A = this chain, B = another copy of it.
Amino acid sequence: MIDAKKIWQDVQAIRKKAPLVHNITNYVVMNTTANALLCIGASPVMAHALEEVEEMVGMAAALGGALVINIGTLSQKWIESMAVAMRAAQKRSVPIVFDPVGAGATTLRTQVCHQLLGEVSPTILRGNASEIMALLDATVQTRGVDSSRASSRAKEAAATAATLYRCVVCVSGEEDIITDGKTVRTVRNGHAMMSRVTGLGCTATALIGAFAAVNAHPLDAAAHGMAVMGIAGEIAAAKAQGPGTLQLHFYDALYRLSAQDIEKRLR
């Protein structure tokens, strides 16, 4: 289903084109996601002022880039900027990757997701299972809970969200599930220690932004991004003594990633 050669083609395209990835993201991960984007070969930019987000999206449009929206540390002004940026991206056909960090944890976060996603469909929506579940209405959530296994629940939630928000949905977990509501791709790469480094979920979202910039098929872009994320994480974990050293080696692994790494490790 997922083809190692096609992943490698995307990586090469990112390295060659250095697509502009415009991030409106949370304070916690601004530095780390910028570093991950640089290591894979993209050109990250962080800009959130209402006065400039539309223009920055225009630059992403002109240069063949992407917009990444991440609600991890919200405040009112930023929500406005996110809405303006998403509208501008939709208008100019810039791929939008949306990360509903903490949806379900507070009413504000859930509502902001409903508001933003209700107005503009993202290209790809990436979150963990509980975040994606939180974006479904109560009926659906209940139905989801009836399912007997976590993985099948996540698959059902992903498919429902894909239909509801008319986008590709990526539910990350031990097994990543990527679906457009019909076709399903799964990625089984990654390492348990990755959950002990802050913001690696947000990093996955940012990397998917780079893949969406060079690959017109959102299902493939999301799957390829998650595969690269997991493979780099595995390479890093093999060298790490803990989450601190894992993070560094993760960056190095993204930077040094080869066709062979992907071929050998893709699951």
Chain A interface residues (CB < 8 Å from chain B):
26-32, 34-35, 38-39, 44-49, 51-52, 55-56, 59, 72-77, 102, 105-109, 195-199, 240-245, 247-256
Contacts and interface: CB of A to CB of B under 8 A. Distances in A.
Q: How many copies of this protein are present in the complex?
A: 3
Contacts of A108: 49, 51-52, 55
Contacts of A45: 102, 105
Contacts of A254: 242
A122 to B, nearest CB: 22
DSSP class of A's interface residues: helix, strand, loop or mixed? helix
25 contacts: A26-B46, A27-B30, A28-B34, A28-B46, A30-B73, A34-B198, A34-B199, A38-B198, A47-B102, A48-B73, A49-B74, A49-B76, A55-B106, A55-B107, A241-B249, A241-B252, A242-B252, A242-B254, A243-B251, A244-B250, A245-B248, A245-B249, A245-B251, A247-B248, A248-B248
A103 to B, nearest CB: 12
B242 A244 contact: no
A72 B241 CA distance: 31
Contact of A243 (B38, B55, B242): B38
B244 A256 contact: no
B105 A38 contact: no
Contacts of A39: 196, 242-244
Given A31-B31, A31-B198, A51-B106, 16 more contacts: A27-B46, A31-B32, A31-B199, A35-B244, A35-B247, A38-B195, A51-B108, A52-B74, A52-B106, A52-B108, A55-B108, A196-B255, A242-B251, A244-B249, A244-B250, A245-B248
Most chain B beta-carbon neighbours within 10 Å: one of A73, A244, A245? A244
Given A27-B46, A34-B198, A102-B45, A107 B52 contact: yes
